[in-house]
Structure 1
Amino acid sequence: MVIPGRTLPRPAGLLPASRVVAPAARRVAIVSASVGAGHDGAAAELERRLGADGFAVDRYDLLDLLPAGLGRAVRDGYHRMLVAAPWAYQRIYAGTERAGGSGPTTRALLRAAEHRVLRALRPDVGAVVSTYPGASRVLGGLRLGGRLTAPVVTYLTDFSVHPLWVAQGVDVHLAAHAVPAAQARAAGARDVRVCGPVTDPRFRPGGGPVERARARARFGLPEHAPLALLVAGSWGVGPVRQVARELRDCGAAVPVVVCGRNQALARQLRADGVEYAYGWVDDMPGLMHAADVLVQNAGGLTSLEAFAAGLPVASYRCIPGHGPANAAALDEAGVAVWIRDPADLRSALCDLVDGPLGLRQRAVGLALFARAPGDGPAAEIARVVHRPGPPPPPPGPGPQHRSRARRLALTTAAACAVWACAVGTGVATTNDGPALIHALGHGLDPDRLAPAHSQEGHHS
């Protein structure tokens, strides 16, 4: 997806307006990636805010700019691994976290994308913003090499900061809260600024009992029962059926499940007797106004939207990798409760729905959005547009920096065998080869990839 510039609104009946020509330093490029919906969601809201401030904005999908059409293979491989072999993704995430970054193949792949990214950027661009770790690596490399003179800003979309997020050459890192800001600094980032989260302005606190009743009526939900909104991202991954049954059986709230684009999951839930199961929902703000608590498993954009809507959030049975990492960071920040023990599910939900914990969580979540407009992410990006000076010095090694010698010894043959096991085919086909790049590029260690037991990665 390439969205080259914004167009001016025009009265009906006139010819299409010409594309905006930005004055010097009034153009910003945003590079995201269509991996789930969180990175693109942050990019879309940054685009809206910067456009409202008078900037011309170009948006790019990094996966479209990878060579040889590998972007789709990377996205599909990541999706398949989360569904078929979450234990493998957990080990990839943990291994790269310990090593402090990516493996040699990922670095080679991202270097191969540098020319395509540079060619896509307009010559009058005043700043480039990344909402995806891979994009930060590409842009940082261009900045360090002197081929990109415009400053680079990384907007950290998650509350937990994996070392892949912190790339040499990036001028500024923006964080939603002090917790991810501290993690970014620990990983070696120099200029880190806390500027609050970005969410669609439709996500706001509900208008009281009348709006709540109308929202429940629109979705055909019970008028008076407490409702637990269960979300699993745009892909509907994780042990969603298990969690939905646990929510129903514990009696604290009626589960209302959003399965994203996973229509098969919605059908399975209805067959399980979970009455309120939806696929893709366009009116998520309305559904949040109808609910009493959000239960999530990844800690991404939906959690931030719930905070903006004044909805308390619980993390439970998180997906592997970034799921538990985000849950821990959200819990540390005090904005969401991490339910680690199923025995605590009922009591925690009751307290969130109708107790002091829920009142406290609503207040803390809303406080994230209390900043003045001049202190938000778009304002920080505007401040660095065409900032003079050379690229920043390379970040110092974070405390997690380790030797990569063993990872560098990984062979393609071993990685193919691992991938074949991960997808459950027993054969590494030609079509699986490009998708393997995502796994191989993170420098997998074969000795760390055998699953400890079949349930790992499904529990928080």
Structure 2
Amino acid sequence: MKKDPCILILYSSFGEGHIQASLAIQKQLASIGVLKVHLVDLLAEAHPVWNAFSRFCYISSMSRFPSLYGYLYSRTNRITPDETYSKLIHRIGKGKLKETIERIKPDAVVHTFPFLGMEILKDEEGYTIPTFTVMTDFVLHARWLHEHTDRYFVATEALKQEMLAAGIGGSRITVTGIPIREAFEKPQSKEKLFRKHGLNPHSKFALIAAGAFGVLADVEWMTNEALRITEYEIIIVCGRNQKLRDHLSAIFREEPRVRILGYVDYVEELMAVSSCMLTKAGGLTLSEALSLSLPVIVYRPIPGQEQGNAEMLSALGTVRIANSPEELTKELLRMQEEPNRYRIREAMQALYRPGAARSIADEVIRMMEQSELPIPVLPLRVSRKAVRVHGYR
């Protein structure tokens, strides 16, 4: 390995998953002696006002206008990398990125969000820096694809097959799983966790995780329904949504079976003591559940990548989807039965790939050490039929 190599990781704060994936890779690189790792939220640094506005629109559309978000997601999924709109998207922050490249002189660039600015620089400026893309969902979207990406790291073999159909050469795709925090892969004593969090070890717990921004819909109704038809005690994690936390705290103030929390950095501990989880279908969240073999119910998945994630994992037997209150009631009742949970846990164990962040770090270093990348740059054959569109009906 080159002495004191430098790696640039480009992410976005549009979703917690992109940040967590980047941090997981950074930590694994540090563990093998690569300490010069720069994490850059490119859009936030290049266009802070536009980033704040776009982020607000993103969160609002997912929670208030999910059909609109799904429509935009599906429309952009039909755009090929060489079309004008695609080039405009990937050029966002190009100037800032070029300045960063010239300043820190990275030996490799890793994308964990589909603003593929480095690919544009390779095309227009002639850079030869190895470029990697870590896909943080279980389904394909056209914005992840670019002919100048040297290596893709993807969640499952099924996703690799989608990419092959879109014209990506198999030698450019490595199935690693989605990188998650190391804490999810360390053995934990449930007895110690019960004591640490003041939980009754004889009770069963359902975890409702509203997401980092607390945008999961119908949390109050889900909680009431779980209390009504199951024996579960309920742990609710509201993320950074203080309004949701305050509202639920007022509603369930006198309910001993409900515990309400805000944003926590120990969610793996809460997941480890839970029997099931109701949550959004973010790629990182579902990967974390897979790592702990924690059965998941996704209620009314948001159109777009989250619906795609849910449908893909549901087809593999690792996630249950409830699209209506009646279906949620049915799934909650099913989750009380150990044989059903056992089948889901078995499917999760079969699908999960441990050590994704380490696999990615090792592969990045291996390719950096090569004098030439033995990967031909070929034009993509992305078409409207090649990339599966999820979530918009």
Q: TM-score, normalised by structure 2?
A: 0.85
Match of 1:234 in 2: 212
Match of 1:303 in 2: 286
* Shift of residue 204, structure 1, vs aligned partner: 3.4
Aligned with residue 215 of structure 1, among 190, 193, 204: 193
CA pair 333-380 structure 1, distance change in 2 beyond 3 A: farther
Query: How many residues are matched?
Result: 379
Residue correspondence of structure 1 range 171-250 to structure 2 within 5 A:
171-190=150-169, 191-204=172-185, 207=188, 211-239=189-217, 240-250=219-229
* Shift of residue 225, structure 1, vs aligned partner: 2.9
Match of 1:394 in 2: 379
Is residue 29 from structure 1 mapped to residue 14 from structure 2 by the alignment? no
For 2:377 and 2:46, locate their aligned partners in 1 and report how far apart those are by CA, in whole Å: 26
For 2:140 and 2:351, locate their aligned partners in 1 and report how far apart those are by CA, in whole Å: 18
Match of 1:73 in 2: 53
Match of 1:156 in 2: 135
* Shift of residue 145, structure 1, vs aligned partner: 2.6
Q: Counterpart of 2:43 in 1: which secondary structure? A: helix
Which moves more between the two structures, 255-264 or 71-80?
A: 71-80
String of CA shifts for 1:300-331, please: whole Å, max 9, x gaps: 21221122223222222222322211101112
Match of 1:327 in 2: 310
Q: Which amino acid aligns with 2:153?
A: L
Q: Counterpart of 1:203 in 2: which secondary structure? A: helix
Residue correspondence of structure 1 range 234-313 to structure 2 within 5 A:
234-239=212-217, 240-251=219-230, 253-273=232-252, 275-313=258-296
String of CA shifts for 1:238-293, please: whole Å, max 9, x gaps: 31333333333332633321110001111222333363221111211211122111
Gaps of 5+ in 2: none
Q: Which amino acid aligns with 1:271?
A: A
Q: Which amino acid aligns with 2:285?
A: T
Larger Rg: 1
Match of 1:363 in 2: 346
Q: Counterpart of 1:150 in 2: which secondary structure? A: coil
String of CA shifts for 1:109-155, please: whole Å, max 9, x gaps: 54252221122125642211100011xx2122122234321111101
Which moves more between the two structures, 112-121 or 124-133?
A: 112-121
Q: TM-score, normalised by structure 1?
A: 0.73
Which moves more between the two structures, 362-371 or 240-249?
A: 362-371
For 1:68 and 1:201, locate their aligned partners in 2 and report how far apart those are by CA, in whole Å: 31
For 1:36 and 1:268, locate their aligned partners in 2 and report how far apart those are by CA, in whole Å: 24
Give % identity. 26
CA pair 366-146 structure 1, distance change in 2 beyond 3 A: farther
Q: Counterpart of 1:43 in 2: which secondary structure? A: helix
Match of 2:147 in 1: 168
String of CA shifts for 1:31-82, please: whole Å, max 9, x gaps: 1111121001000000111121222312111222434742222212212222
Aligned with residue 109 of structure 2, among 128, 133, 146: 128
Q: Is the 8 A contact 1:260 1:281 kept in 2?
A: yes
For 1:160 and 1:202, locate their aligned partners in 2 and report how far apart those are by CA, in whole Å: 25
Q: Is the 8 A contact 2:226 2:332 kept in 1?
A: no
Match of 1:59 in 2: 39
Match of 2:326 in 1: 343
Q: Counterpart of 2:379 in 1: which secondary structure? A: coil
Residue correspondence of structure 1 range 11-26 to structure 2 within 5 A:
23=2, 26=5
Q: Is the 8 A contact 1:28 1:126 kept in 2?
A: yes
The alignment's C-alpha RMSD in Å is: 3.1
For 1:342 and 1:238, locate their aligned partners in 2 and report how far apart those are by CA, in whole Å: 14
Match of 2:28 in 1: 49
Q: Which amino acid aligns with 1:236?
A: G
